[in-house]
């Protein structure tokens, strides 16, 4: 064997190194390295290009029917613009449409209820399962155990009401709203002629913070500012409405109704005004005897002189209007309060408040309202039409237990706390994907999801009993049968017998309570509202650090009260009411809140509202007061007696 | 031809007036800004230190100085204040002179611009900004899954380690100019535009326009007694001569964003004055 010379050895070694190097170069590894380096330094995502155009859309899922103009790049919607104003839900429709956690196919429950385990099924299977279940209930004569909870009175809610009623059940409910509450208390919801009023007396209605139709209210507010309309706001916290109002009347928590009694008392006895409502005599006697001004002043913290002054101003204004319905997106008021405030309108013969009805919507079922249904109702089958009562109702925990024993169908585009307890989930659309008579859909349907109207029509066609409910096969035709709004014509009644107990109970409510010395009242953050906004990152981006900061939900407490309880800023506290406790709440000391009050942000503490909305803060509804109002069938959760430790 | 182009002088000096007495704190400006400017979507955008947004919806109250119920609340939409320094003809914002990479500059239209891809991430400008209007991308801007579909092609997505800021949506002006050019209008001064926040404000609290045009609504608003600028002490000097000499001797930010309010507490708070 030839001996390897030193030179050959070096040649061989050099060749190996060269070969290795060239192999490495040709393998592409260095180029991949450059790519990594480039990605690491310039790691932008480049949005897909396309032609720019604007598409028009009208929301069919919000009761206000927001009209928007959508900027499109190719087939992608990139911006929602509106000349007429748009409600927060419609403004966020872009992030709903492109939400990474959209439900793509019909789902069937796999594990236990509440586990959140679902498997995809086909539309045929899902509809078949629902219709066979419904059929068997109808043939057994248990049609009335089929129930539905609608989110609102939009067209798909109206179709759902028709469908369930055709199946033989009376149990159709709506998530409590200003319309549903006033309808139940007064026999019609109030159409306010805000444009022509010169004096607005608001009892805790946060008029510019999402109350009623928020887009319209913003416009109304601009008109008020230019015309110099006087706005008087009774409120416990220095809300934006209170701050922008011409006059803020700070009231003790939950005493808005008592203030209304006081003003009514003064107008009846002091200024000899009369209401035409039925049972006015009985009601006025009750109020005059039970709520003399001195008592009202001590309950509300508003002096007698000021009550008289408000009464005088209100009755002397040209076209005054009194507004009830405390809150912004989440509205709450007892029927006694709604009636008392409406009474003020009738006392001064206000032309700005008319009672209306919608021909396709009745807010009452077998029970007066959603909360009384949850409390006392029985159901073996429940439809949830985009609603989330498990999260939004103070009786959500009770509803969960009842839902565990029933067959639950949920129609919604993304998961929520209630859908987590469903047996079947049917994916619906964002309004950008649904067609209206005026406009085509802006973007195409997400995967297998379908329009809620089409889903309800398909369900009704699948049953013998309900197959003739709708004379059309497609949701687009249902716009023809949309309910008409008309003046209710119903005579307003004080319903004294029904609300007397509640009025009597007020004394007990405001009496000193050693065990629960504080009151908890809700506040809302912009865009978050009463919880719908939390699944959208651009809403999370707007949350002020004094409301929610790095996973901590902050409750607002007056400085003096804080001192009394030895609280410091950002300190963790536990809030207890007779119904339970909330931990992991932190303190923000601020004098924008009345003393002895805990101002609690609504909208946080979802259990399963996509990864963006879940596990952020706590849901105070769990411990809020749950006395159900006899007329509205809704719990009066506004002010809850609590203690902190 | 070349000379002709030179003759066209920039007339515009974009500015904004925000009426805080009309602002209801609805947050529409914030959502519109986020949509328009491709704001990154992090897993938890309620995490304020990590948050990247051009427009901050600041909640302000006078609760430190007043007791319940003499308190007030207001929302203050805060974006880049578009400082111009003492001389509008020779603008000199505090952030521009410190940039070692010429990533931020002030245009002849008065808009303080920022080119994300040129930024080297030294954050000098962020430190220099007296309004905390600039944000740094500590993390890679992410848009999970299908959220990418809602991204606009007009604003480039920033990479990690760069400073980003409000540009008065100047890409919209460019877009409008392109549309005008397509119609044959070549004059840069022929086109007006509206940034996303001003375009969406439902109460008309945000007014945008040309401060050089003395007939414009925004100019008229800035000349009223209600106008106040964030922490700009030169506004407090009423004597014209003294103001002139001060402007020569000292450096002021001179923002082109004006706030309008008749509420004294708010005016004081914006100037770091104690409520008396």
Provide the CATH number for the domain around residue B127: 3.30.70.20
The answer to the question of residue B275 being in a domain is no
DSSP one-letter string for B177-231: HHHHHHTT---GGG-----HHHHH-TT--EEEEETT-TTSHHHHHHTSTTEE-TT
| Structure letter (DSSP) for residue B152 | -
Q: Do A540 and B46 make contact, defined as CB atoms within 8 angstroms?
A: yes
- Looking at A176-190, A484-498, B219-233, which range is the least confident one? A484-498
Q: Does B121 touch chain A (CB under 8 A)?
A: no
Residues of B in contact with A547 (CB under 8 A): 59
Supply the pLDDT for residue A549: 93
Q: Does B59 touch chain A (CB under 8 A)?
A: yes
Confidence of residue B237 (pLDDT cuts 50, 70, 90): confident
User: Which of A4-8, A358-362, A628-632: highest mean pLDDT?
Assistant: A628-632
Residue A261 and residue B90 in contact, taking contact as beta carbons nearer than 8 Å? no
Please give the average per-residue pLDDT across A76-102, as a whole number: 94
Q: Do A541 and B34 make contact, defined as CB atoms within 8 angstroms?
A: yes
CATH number for the domain whose boundaries are A513-644: 2.40.40.20
Nearest CA in chain A to B56: A542
Residue A575 and residue A555 in contact, taking contact as beta carbons nearer than 8 Å? yes
CA distances in angstroms from A54 to A79, A321, A332, B39, B179, listed in the order given = 10, 40, 39, 21, 14
The answer to the question of residue B130 being in a domain is yes
Q: Which of A88, A207, A532, A542 is the mutation pick for testing B, counting most B CBs within 10 A?
A: A542
Q: Does B19 touch chain A (CB under 8 A)?
A: no
The Cα–Cα gap between B230 and A147 comes to 56
Supply the pLDDT for residue B7: 63
Integer Rg of chain B from CA: 19
The answer to the question of residue B276 being in a domain is no
The SS3 call for residue A122 is coil
Is pLDDT above 90 for B263? yes
The Cα–Cα gap between A494 and A500 comes to 10
Is pLDDT above 70 for A219? yes
Instruction: Choose among A613, A581, A635, A622: nearest CA to A391.
Output: A622
| Structure letter (DSSP) for residue B161 | T
The Cα–Cα gap between A473 and A457 comes to 7
- A42 Cα to chain B: minimum distance (Å): 6
- The total domain count for chain B is 1
Residue A55 and residue A70 in contact, taking contact as beta carbons nearer than 8 Å? yes
Mean of the per-residue pLDDT values for chain B? Answer: 91
**Angle formed at CA B30 by CA B27 and CA B36, multiple of 5 degrees:** 140
Within 8 A by CB and 6+ apart from A524, the residues are A206, A209, A210, A327, A328, A329, A330, A530, A601, A602, A603
What are the strands of the beta sheet with A76-81, ordered from one edge?
A52-58, A67-73, A76-81
Helices then strands, each counted (H, E), chain A: 22, 26
Q: Do B26 and A558 make contact, defined as CB atoms within 8 angstroms?
A: no
Is-cis flag, bond preceding B69, omega within 30? yes
Is pLDDT above 50 for B276? no
- Inter-chain Cβ pairs, chain A and chain B, closer than 8 A: 205
Q: Do B147 and A95 make contact, defined as CB atoms within 8 angstroms?
A: yes
Supply the pLDDT for residue A397: 96
Token pair belonging to A244? 């922008």
Q: Is B263 exposed, middle or buried (0-12, 13-18, 19+ CB in 10 A)?
A: middle
Question: Which residue range(s) make up the domain with B258?
Answer: 2-270
Range 572-591 of A in CB contact (< 8 A) with B: 590-591
Taking residue A419's Cβ as centre, other Cβ atoms within 10 Å add up to 27
DSSP one-letter string for B20-61: TTT-----HHHHHHHHHTT----S-TT-GGG---SSEEEEEE
CA distances in angstroms from B143 to A97, A231, A533, B17, listed in the order given = 14, 43, 18, 32
Q: Which of A243, A247, A541 is the mutation pick for testing B, counting most B CBs within 10 A?
A: A541
Residue A584 and residue A553 in contact, taking contact as beta carbons nearer than 8 Å? yes
Q: Is B249 exposed, middle or buried (0-12, 13-18, 19+ CB in 10 A)?
A: exposed
Residue A574 and residue A585 in contact, taking contact as beta carbons nearer than 8 Å? yes
Q: Do A50 and B153 make contact, defined as CB atoms within 8 angstroms?
A: yes
Is pLDDT above 60 for B1? no
Range 615-634 of A in CB contact (< 8 A) with B: 616
Residue B69 and residue B49 in contact, taking contact as beta carbons nearer than 8 Å? no
Token pair belonging to A550? 């790095």
Q: Do A592 and B26 make contact, defined as CB atoms within 8 angstroms?
A: no
Q: Do A225 and B151 make contact, defined as CB atoms within 8 angstroms?
A: no
The Cα–Cα gap between A53 and B179 comes to 12
Please give the average per-residue pLDDT across B236-251, as a whole number: 89
The Cα–Cα gap between A80 and A91 comes to 6
Confidence of residue A43 (pLDDT cuts 50, 70, 90): low
State how beta strands B14-19 and B206-210 pair.
antiparallel
CA distances in angstroms from A378 to A373, A497, A541, B236, listed in the order given = 8, 27, 41, 69
The answer to the question of residue B116 being in a domain is yes
Q: Do A543 and B160 make contact, defined as CB atoms within 8 angstroms?
A: no
The Cα–Cα gap between B178 and A343 comes to 59
Q: Does B144 touch chain A (CB under 8 A)?
A: yes
H or E element: which one contains A582?
strand A580-589
Within 8 A by CB and 6+ apart from A57, the residues are A67, A68, A69, A70, A431, A432, A436, A439, A441, A442
Supply the pLDDT for residue A552: 94
Confidence of residue B275 (pLDDT cuts 50, 70, 90): very low
The answer to the question of residue B230 being in a domain is yes
Q: Does A39 touch chain B (CB under 8 A)?
A: no
Please give the distance of CA B164 from its chain centroid, rounded to a whole number: 12
For helices A256-265 and A280-290, the axis angle rounded to 10 degrees is 110
Taking residue B253's Cβ as centre, other Cβ atoms within 10 Å add up to 24
Which residue in the block uniquely carries the two structure tokens 């796999």? A110
Instruction: Choose among A500, A552, A425, A482: nearest CA to A109.
Output: A425
Within 8 A by CB and 6+ apart from B159, the residues are A41, A42, A43, A44, B116, B117, B137, B140, B141
CATH number for the domain whose boundaries are A187-358: 3.40.228.10
Half-sphere exposure of B73 (CA within 13 A, CB side): 23
Supply the pLDDT for residue B49: 87
Is pLDDT above 80 for A34? no
Nearest CA in chain B to A593: B68
Confidence of residue A35 (pLDDT cuts 50, 70, 90): confident
Confidence of residue B160 (pLDDT cuts 50, 70, 90): confident
Percent of chain A whose predicted confidence (pLDDT) is above 70: 99
Confidence of residue B161 (pLDDT cuts 50, 70, 90): confident
Supply the pLDDT for residue A169: 95
Which residue in the block uniquely carries the two structure tokens 């408000």? A310
State the complex-level ipTM.
0.93
The Cα–Cα gap between A98 and A104 comes to 12
The Cα–Cα gap between A56 and A9 comes to 78
Is pLDDT above 80 for A381? yes
Is pLDDT above 80 for A40? no
For helices A496-510 and A256-265, the axis angle rounded to 10 degrees is 120
Is pLDDT above 70 for B62? yes
CA dihedral sign of residues B110, B111, B112, B117: negative
Residues of A in contact with B143 (CB under 8 A): 45
- A438 Cα to chain B: minimum distance (Å): 23
Within 8 A by CB and 6+ apart from B13, the residues are B88, B109, B110, B210, B211, B212, B256
Which residue in the block uniquely carries the two structure tokens 């952030």? B95
Is pLDDT above 90 for B4? no
- Looking at A168-177, B1-10, B11-20, which range is the least confident one? B1-10
Residues of A in contact with B149 (CB under 8 A): 76-77, 98
For A98-127, what is each residue's pLDDT tens digit?
999 999 999 999 999 999 999 999 999 999
The SS3 call for residue A390 is helix
Confidence of residue A33 (pLDDT cuts 50, 70, 90): confident
For A455-510, what is each residue's pLDDT tens digit?
999 999 999 999 999 999 898 999 988 989 999 877 889 999 999 999 999 999 99
Nearest CA in chain B to A617: B46
The Cα–Cα gap between A565 and A597 comes to 12
CATH number for the domain whose boundaries are A107-179+362-482: 3.40.50.740
Is pLDDT above 90 for A569? yes
Residue A608 and residue A417 in contact, taking contact as beta carbons nearer than 8 Å? yes
Supply the pLDDT for residue A107: 97
User: Residue ranges of the domains in chain A?
Assistant: 6-41, 107-179+362-482, 187-358, 513-644
- A74 Cα to chain B: minimum distance (Å): 10
Token pair belonging to B110? 């008065």
The answer to the question of residue B24 being in a domain is yes
- Looking at A10-14, A629-633, B5-9, B220-224, which range is the least confident one? B5-9
Please give the average per-residue pLDDT across A295-313, as a whole number: 97
The answer to the question of residue B99 being in a domain is yes
């Amino acid at each position: 064997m030839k001996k390897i010379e030193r030179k050959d050895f070096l040649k061989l070694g050099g060749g190996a190194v060269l070969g290795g190097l060239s192999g490495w170069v040709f393998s592409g590894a260095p180029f991949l390295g450059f790519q990594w380096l480039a990605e690491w330094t310039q790691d932008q995502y480049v949005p897909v290009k396309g032609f720019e155009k604007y598409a028009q859309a009208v929301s069919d899922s919000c009761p206000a029917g927001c009209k928007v103009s959508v900027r499109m790049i190719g087939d992608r919607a990139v911006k929602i613009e509106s000349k007429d104003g748009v409600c927060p839900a419609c403004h966020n429709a872009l992030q709903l449409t492109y939400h990474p956690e959209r439900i793509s196919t019909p789902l069937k429950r796999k594990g236990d209820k509440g586990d959140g385990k679902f498997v995809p099924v086909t539309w045929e299977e899902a509809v078949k399962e629902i219709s066979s279940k419904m059929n068997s209930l109808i043939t057994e004569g248990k049609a009335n155990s089929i129930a539905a909870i609608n989110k609102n009175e939009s067209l798909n809610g109206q179709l759902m009401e028709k469908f369930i009623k055709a199946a033989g059940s009376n149990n159709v409910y709506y998530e409590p709203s200003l319309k549903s509450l006033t309808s139940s208390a007064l026999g019609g919801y109030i159409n306010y002629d805000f444009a022509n009023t010169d004096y607005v007396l608001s009892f805790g209605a946060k008029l510019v913070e999402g109350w009623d139709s928020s887009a319209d209210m913003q416009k109304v507010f601009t008109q008020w500012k230019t015309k110099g309309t006087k706005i008087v706001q009774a409120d416990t916290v220095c809300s934006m409405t209170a701050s922008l109002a011409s006059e803020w009347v700070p009231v003790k928590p939950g005493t808005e109704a008592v203030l209304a009694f006081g003003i009514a008392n003064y107008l009846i006895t002091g200024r000899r005004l009369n209401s035409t409502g039925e049972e006015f005599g009985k009601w006025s006697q009750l109020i005059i005897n039970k709520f003399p001004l001195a008592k009202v002043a001590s309950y509300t913290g508003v002096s007698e002189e000021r009550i008289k002054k408000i009464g005088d101003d209100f009755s002397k204004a040209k076209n005054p209007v009194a507004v009830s319905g405390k809150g912004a997106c989440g509205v709450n008021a007892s029927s006694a309060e709604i009636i008392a405030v409406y009474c003020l309108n009738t006392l001064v013969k206000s032309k700005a408040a008319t009672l209306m009805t919608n021909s396709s919507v009745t807010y009452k079922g077998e029970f007066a309202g959603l909360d009384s249904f949850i409390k006392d109702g029985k159901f073996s089958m429940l439809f949830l039409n985009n609603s989330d009562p498990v999260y939004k109702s103070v009786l959500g925990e009770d509803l969960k237990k009842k839902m565990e024993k029933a067959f639950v169908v949920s129609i919604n585009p993304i998961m929520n706390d209630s859908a987590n307890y469903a047996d079947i989930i049917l994916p619906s659309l964002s309004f950008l994907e649904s067609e209206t008579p005026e406009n085509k859909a802006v973007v195409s349907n997400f995967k297998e999801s379908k329009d809620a109207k089409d889903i309800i029509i398909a369900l009704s066609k699948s049953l013998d009993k309900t197959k003739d409910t709708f004379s059309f096969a497609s949701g687009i035709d249902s716009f023809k049968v949309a309910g008409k709004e008309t003046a209710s014509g119903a005579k307003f009644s004080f319903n004294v017998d029904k609300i007397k107990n509640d009025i009597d109970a007020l004394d007990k409510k405001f009496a000193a309570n050693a065990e629960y010395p504080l009151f908890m009242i809700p506040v809302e953050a912009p865009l978050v509202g009463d919880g719908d906004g939390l699944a959208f990152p651009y809403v999370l981006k707007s949350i002020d650090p004094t409301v929610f900061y790095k996973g901590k939900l902050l409750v607002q407490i007056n400085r003096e009260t804080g001192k009394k309880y030895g609280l410091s800023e950002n300190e963790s506290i536990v809030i207890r009411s007779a119904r339970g406790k909330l931990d992991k709440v932190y303190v923000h000391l601020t004098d924008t809140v009345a003393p002895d009050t805990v101002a609690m942000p609504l909208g946080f503490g979802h259990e399963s509202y996509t990864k963006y909305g879940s596990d952020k803060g706590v849901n105070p509804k769990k411990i809020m007061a749950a006395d159900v109002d006899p007329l509205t069938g809704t719990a009066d959760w506004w002010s809850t007696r609590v203690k902190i430790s | 031809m070349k000379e002709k182009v030179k003759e066209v002088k920039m007339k515009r000096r974009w500015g904004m007036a925000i009426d805080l007495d009309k602002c209801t704190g609805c947050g529409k400006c914030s959502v519109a800004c986020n949509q328009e400017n491709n704001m990154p979507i992090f897993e938890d955008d309620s995490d304020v230190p990590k948050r990247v947004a051009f427009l901050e919806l600041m909640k302000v109250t006078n609760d430190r100085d007043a007791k319940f119920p003499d308190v007030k609340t207001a929302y203050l939409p805060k974006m880049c204040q578009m400082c111009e320094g003492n001389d509008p003809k020779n603008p000199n914002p505090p952030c521009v002179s410190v940039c070692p990479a010429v990533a931020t500059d002030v245009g002849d239209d008065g808009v303080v611009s920022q080119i994300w891809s040129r930024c080297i991430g030294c954050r000098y400008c962020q430190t220099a900004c007296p309004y905390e209007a600039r944000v740094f991308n500590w993390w890679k801007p992410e848009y999970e899954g299908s959220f990418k579909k809602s991204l606009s092609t007009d604003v480039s997505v920033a990479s990690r380690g760069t400073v980003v800021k409000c540009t008065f949506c100047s890409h919209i002006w460019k877009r409008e100019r392109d549309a005008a050019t397509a119609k044959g209008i070549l004059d840069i001064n022929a086109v007006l535009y509206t940034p996303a926040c001003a375009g969406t404000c439902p109460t008309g609290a945000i007014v945008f326009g040309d401060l050089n045009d003395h007939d414009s609504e925004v100019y008229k608003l800035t000349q009223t007694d209600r106008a106040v600028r964030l922490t700009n002490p030169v506004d407090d000097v009423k004597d014209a001569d003294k103001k002139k000499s001060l402007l020569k001797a000292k450096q002021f930010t001179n923002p082109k964003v004006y706030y309008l309010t008749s509420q004294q507490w708010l005016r004081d708070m914006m100037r770091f004055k104690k409520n008396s």
